[in-house]
Amino acid sequence: MNDLVLIEDRDPPALASAAERAAGTPLPWVAPEDPRAAEATVWFCATRPPAAPRALTRLRWIHSGWAGVDAWFARPEWRDGVRLTRTIGDFPDRVAEYVAGYLLADALGVREAIAGITARSWDRWTPATLAGRSMLVVGHGAIGRRVAEVARALRMATRGVRRGPLTAEDHAAGVEEASALEALLPAADVVVNLLPLTRDTESFWDAPRFDRMKEGAVFVNASRGRTVDEAALLAGLARRRPARAILDVFREEPLPAGHPIRDVPGVWITPHVAGTGTTEPLARDFAANWRRYRAGEPLGGTVDRARGY
C-alpha cells in the first residue's frame, strides 16, 4: 500500500521538516486542502481534531499530538481497524516543571512579592518550603513519574496511585493500586491530579474525596477539567479541604471571566498551558512510530479504547 500522511498543525511546514529530520527520510505528506487528503492512510494530527469529521476511507493509523485523547473517542475516523497513538514528547518534563514551579511560587510567597513590587512597599514575610511536605500523584503514568521525581529532588515525600499492573519500580517509588487512594488522601499535603478523562473519571474529584483531604492541603489539576466537580471544589476550598489550588484546566474553556473560582483567594489559574507540546519532541515521537509502522512493528503510545487511554 502506498502511504499518504495527512498533517495538521499550527505550523505544518515546520513540523513536517522536523519529522523528516528525525526520521532521516522524506515523508509522503498531504495537506487537508489537497484533493488527495481523502486517500491518506496516516493522520498526523498535532492539534485538536477539526470540528467536522474527515472522510478518510483508507485510514489505518492516527497519531495525536495531545497527551489527552478523550476527544477522539467520539470521532468516526477512529473506527475498527484504525490504530490511535498519542504523543509523550516532552510533556513529562513540562508538566513536572509546571507543578513544581507553581508549588514553589505558592510556598515562597510570589503573590506577596508581586504585591510589594506593585505597591513599592517593604512588607516582609517568612517564605515556606516544600522540603518535608508529602505529595500524592493520582494517575502515576509517564508524566506522574516525572512529577514525583522532581518533587523528590525538592525533598518532598511522594506517593502515587495508578491502575495496575504495578512494576517493581512502581512499588519502590511508593505507587499503589487505585484502591489505596481513599487511605492515602488524608496524609497528603499536595494532591496532584493527572487522571485521563474516561467514563470512570468524569467528576472523579467530588465532595467525598475533597472531604478526605488534609485540612490546608494544596490541590493541583494539570490533567482534564471534567475530572473535577467544580462545585465540590469550591465547597472544599471554603472548608480548607483543600485550602489552595493550582488549576490549569477547567470544565469550560476559556474559563469565563465571572466564574466563581476566580474570586477564591489562594487559587492559581492558568489557561491550559501546563502540557503545551513543542515541535521537536512531537516530531521525534511521530518519526519513531513512522519507522515502526513501515516495518510492521507495534506502535508506541497506543491508546486502549476499552481502558480509555
Q: Which residues are tagged catalytic?
A: 224, 253, 272
Contacts with 235 (C-beta within 8 Å, 6 or more apart), sequence order: 207, 210
Tell me how far apart the alpha carbons of residues 247 and 234 are, in angstroms, rounded to a whole number.
Answer: 12
Contact call for residues 186 and 159 (beta carbons, < 8 A): no
Q: Cell numbers for 40, please give them.
A: 491518506
Q: Is the dihedral of CA 174, 224, 307, 205 positive or negative?
A: positive
Name 17's Cβ contacts closer than 8 Å, sequence gap at least 6: none
Could you give the C-alpha distances from 211 to 170, 215, 220, in angstroms and in order?
27, 9, 16
Residues 6 or more apart from 119 whose CB is under 8 A from it?
none
Cα three-residue angle 11-86-160, rounded to 5 degrees: 125
Amino acid identity at 159: R
